[in-house]
């Protein structure tokens, strides 16, 4: 019998026959056991998690230095995933006033009353940029720069990658 089995609290098989206090006692004992084992496991894993974090940082740094998206490795697909967000610079976007009709502009850029703040709607801004191009598209591009929020390293075994792509293909066929 291993240490884990020796220290496990005993839980009655038929809960219906147990009194409320026995049920509560068993619940508390099981929760205490789980918390103790979880803490021991986390303590055991801490150095490995730190190593993983350091290794991921180094791999991500090398991929970034090479201006790449992937790291060449045969057994795993190691790639970056970049999370971006459009920054909305209202001061720049307000330059659109007078350049497009008020009706078009109020869909793309408007003042919300409570709390008072400007709102930029990217769907309508993109439509304006597409419809008018030129100076208007340039103002919109300057007023909505794409900002990298974070970059994540994704490590997936090649077999899993193949399975994901085959599922994606099947999903696409079922649409």
Calculate the alpha carbon distances from 48 to 34, 55, 62 in Å.
21, 10, 21
The total domain count for the chain is 2
- Over the stretch 59-71, which tens digit does the pLDDT of each residue have? 999 999 999 999 9
Q: If you average pLDDT over every residue of the chain, what do you get?
A: 86
59 assigned to some structural domain: no
- CA 149 vs. chain centroid, Å, equals 10
137 and 92 housed in the same domain: yes
Mean predicted confidence (pLDDT) in 125-147: 94
Strand pairing class (76-86; 109-112)? unpaired
Lowest mean pLDDT among 4-8, 15-19, 78-82, 102-106: 4-8
Mean predicted confidence (pLDDT) in 82-102: 93
Q: Quote the pLDDT of residue 16.
A: 82
Query: Domain span at residue 96?
Result: 88-143
| Per-residue confidence band for 88, with pLDDT thresholds at 50, 70 and 90 | very high
157 assigned to some structural domain: no
- At what angle are helices 134-143 and 122-132 packed, to 10 degrees? 150
Q: How far apart are the first and last CA of the chain?
A: 53
112 assigned to some structural domain: yes
Element (H, E) at 119: strand 117-120
Q: Quote the pLDDT of residue 12.
A: 45
Rounded Cα gap, residues 106 and 120, in angstroms = 9
40 assigned to some structural domain: yes
| Per-residue confidence band for 166, with pLDDT thresholds at 50, 70 and 90 | low
49 and 92 housed in the same domain: no
């Amino acid at each position: 019998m291993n240490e884990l089995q020796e220290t496990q609290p005993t839980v009655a098989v038929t809960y219906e026959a147990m009194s409320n206090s026995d049920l509560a006692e068993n619940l508390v004992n099981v929760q205490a056991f789980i918390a103790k084992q979880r803490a021991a496991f986390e303590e055991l894993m801490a150095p490995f998690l730190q190593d993983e974090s350091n290794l991921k940082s180094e791999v991500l740094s090398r991929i970034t230095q090479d201006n790449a998206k992937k790291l060449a490795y045969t057994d795993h697909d190691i790639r970056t995933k970049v999370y971006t967000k459009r920054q909305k610079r209202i001061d720049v976007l307000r330059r659109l006033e007078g350049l497009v009709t008020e009706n078009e502009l109020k869909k793309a850029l408007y003042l919300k009353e409570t709390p008072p703040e400007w709102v930029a709607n990217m769907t309508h801004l993109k439509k304006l940029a597409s419809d008018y191009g030129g100076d208007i598209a340039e103002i919109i591009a300057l007023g909505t720069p794409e900002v990298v929020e974070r970059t994540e390293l994704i490590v997936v075994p090649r077999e899993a990658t193949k399975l994901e792509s085959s599922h994606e293909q099947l999903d696409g066929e079922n649409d």
